[in-house]
Amino acid sequence: MILFRVESGDIKEYVFQTRITPPGKYCEYLRSIPEDNPLYCKVTIENNLEKVRDLNIRSIGLFLFGELKDALIFSSKIYHGNARIYTVAIEEQSIMHIGDMNVLDAITTALQLGLHKNDRDSFDGFCSHYWKKGKTFSPCYEYIVKQAVVQELICTTEECAEFDREYMESTFVEHSNIYRQKLLQIYR
């Protein structure tokens, strides 16, 4: 199984066989978001995900992607192209959860519409849907794992930046030269 890890281009490049563990900074990041910031919805969602499960493994796990296209989109949205993408290997028992990130987007929309205040049970149901491996019509699978081992640097910061430019122009991953080149490289 080929999985993908996206890392900031600001951190040191990993080499083959580097063992990656969760950086443990997600909770710190969430605590730093002020309540008047539009991103504060992430705090509300993560708190509710923890409430319905009694443990939010999202805060202690390492995030991987099941598809290159999803890793590339994430590198563009979060890092604006200043990223690296690696193929990684995992041991099956390292997987803590596999979830559809688009369910999280639906939860965000529900939050923005006030569902968490007006219909708490339905909002809790959305959060439970994520943990029960619920999916959308176009799933974007994230693997939350204990650790992963780097196999190959598949996209350099320059390639991620080029993808970001291409993606911003067309908004279609499949139109990107970088995406097509990397698919051939991975599945050769």
Q: Whole-model pTM above 0.85? A: yes
Residues in the chain: 188
How many Å apart are CA 164 and CA 159, to the nearest integer?
9
List, in order, residues 6 or more apart from 91 with CB less than 8 Å away: none
3-class DSSP state of 47: helix
Return the residue matching tokens 């030269």: 177
> Is the pLDDT at 108 greater than 80, yes or no?
yes
11-62 residue pLDDT tens: 999 999 999 998 877 777 788 888 898 888 888 888 898 888 877 788 789 9
Cα–Cα separations (whole angstroms), residue 84 to 8, 75, 87, 138? 6, 8, 10, 25
Task: Report the share of the chain in percent with pLDDT over 90.
Answer: 61
143-167 residue pLDDT tens: 999 999 999 999 999 999 999 999 9
